[in-house]
Amino acid sequence: MERSVADMKKSPAFCVYGGINTVTGDFGGELIMPDYYPEIRKIVTVRASAIPDSKYIHDNELETGGTLSFDVLYIGDDQTLSCVPYVTEYSQVTTVPDGVISADCINVESVAEGISARPLGPRKISLKARVKNRISYDKYEPYLPMIAGPESSPLDTARRRSMEKLERQAECIEKKLYQLTGSAKDELKTDGIMKPVMCYGDILINETRADSRIVNVKGEIALSIIVQNSDGAYGTYCHSIPFEERVDGETVTKNTKAVAAGRLAQISVTLGDDGATLYFDAEYDLDVYTANAGQITFTEDIYSREYEFKSSHREIKSQSLLCCSNTSLSLAAEGRRKGQKAQEDYLVSCIADAKIEKVTTSKGKATAFGLCSFSAYIASGGEIITEEFSTPFSAEIPISEEKAPSELIFHAKAGASGCNCTIQEQKIHAECRISVSLAAFELESLFPIWEACIGDKNTVQSNDCVIKVCFPEKGKRIWDIAKEHKASTLLCEKINKKSRTDICDESPVIIK
């Protein structure tokens, strides 16, 4: 029977790690361009983004789906730059691990990789991308231990106190994912252009703050717009649209930790009748993660040496919160051109894409390591040349634990603003701002008892030692020591390499 996360509020529950699964699949299609687009002479670049929008569980199978959106930048037969969009859907099915409770306990992070575009004709393009879903599972284990005396009778006072001596506190986490879609409109005045060619961007989260029942998210839509100027040359305008969203959460308190990540779902740009104003219409998705920390009192043992008992143990990997925060940093990179620089070369645009690859922790901090890839488009000799380079980056976030955990899991996403880029001889210099969203959790192996029946006093000497060490008084013989401890004299002679009449000199004697 399925139970939602909200049901777990009725009783203490461990948030247990259920595993991570990566599912990949190739998707795409054939784009037939409308007549109002110029015919293809050369494809400059193709970009794609995977936007997850559904997850459905049935018969232990999880189906995830979403939209795969392409943008193809190309040089037309009229020698101008154009960009044509293409949208298709994708769907993937994977098996859900045992014990996963509901879709509320499943997080899906999607990226598009291996993007390719192949012209099949003047107006026909074959598009393909590999969608990779990183699916992480949580499950909630309500802790209601059934501990009783002999034949399920109530525990007497002595046994109750014995059990309490071995109880300890463990942190429990109640996690929640809130998802919303927002929209924004804005405009930008220019000096006058011929046409907008391509608009791309990312969502940067600047602040996520939780209060009583409300999570406030502040961020910006960082846009870059490739335009053709009135003189026929190409250039790029950078623009930022601020936004603020409020999420109403039933589990949100002033002590709730929250972090948000976003993705740009759709963006369109049009040129006004004045030939100088660009009008933007954007839609974006936000994922808001919240975490509430609590305590569970549990027992791992019931004095097995003192009482006879039957018990049911269970090993679980319980999660505790390390950090839940947004941060940002400035990044500079330098690349070297592969082709030779011509006299009239100029930069059209530069695109930055940031991804988190791993997260580590050390004393007092979590560090997210990522890679930022740059694609610079340079007009050279009537063509558009693409130069690509990348640089690693890292972002540090304080954590609640002083010690480094032995095992952790995380949800992380990075966004990059439109870059400032310059060309100097054979070198390309780029600068951008990186926004990082990170939620990290420590995994701790626990062995709580779910059921136990504590009986009478244990008559078995379960605390007998295999070997005893004796520190005898000076002048005693091996025979005297063996007799005193009811041990075998022969064995004592053999182990200690002495005879039974040897006098001890206060040195240790091993007794079997």
Write down the pLDDT at residue 475: 80
Distances, alpha carbon 100 to alpha carbons 14, 139, 164, 299, 313, in Å: 13, 5, 31, 24, 20
pLDDT reported for residue 215: 94
Residue tagged 């679980």 (tokens): 316
Give the pLDDT of residue 407.
85
Integer CA distances (angstroms), 215 to 174, 264, 274, 331, 382, in order: 16, 20, 41, 29, 51
pLDDT digits 0-9 by tens, 254-311? 889 999 999 999 999 999 999 999 999 999 999 999 999 888 888 877 666 677 778 8
Residues 412-465 pLDDT 10s: 999 998 788 898 888 999 999 999 999 999 998 888 888 888 887 776 655 555
Confidence of residue 41 (pLDDT cuts 50, 70, 90): very high
Which residues neighbour 123 within 8 Å (Cβ) at sequence distance 6 or greater? 32, 33, 35, 37, 39, 40
Q: Helix (H, G, I), strand (E, B), or coil: what is residue 492?
A: helix
Say how far apart CA 336 and CA 428 lie, in whole Å: 6
Measured CA to CA, the distance from residue 415 to residue 435 in angstroms comes to: 5
**Mean local confidence (pLDDT), 82-111:** 86
* Dist CA 214 CA 143 (whole Å): 29
What is the helix, strand, coil percentage profile of the chain, to 5? 5, 70, 25
Contact 278, 196 (CB under 8 A): yes
Residues pairing with 235 in the sheet? 227
Coil, strand or helix: which one is 157? Answer: helix
Residue 449 pairs in a beta bridge with 313
Residue 400: which residues within 8 A CB-CB, separation 6 or more?
321, 322, 323
Can you tell me the mean pLDDT for 324-346?
87
How far is the C-alpha of 492 from the C-alpha of 472, rounded, in Å? 13
Contact 261, 287 (CB under 8 A): yes
Intra-chain end-to-end CA distance of the chain, in Å: 55
Task: Report the chain's mean pLDDT, rounded to a whole number.
Answer: 87
* SS3 label, residue 103: helix
- 149: DSSP letter: S
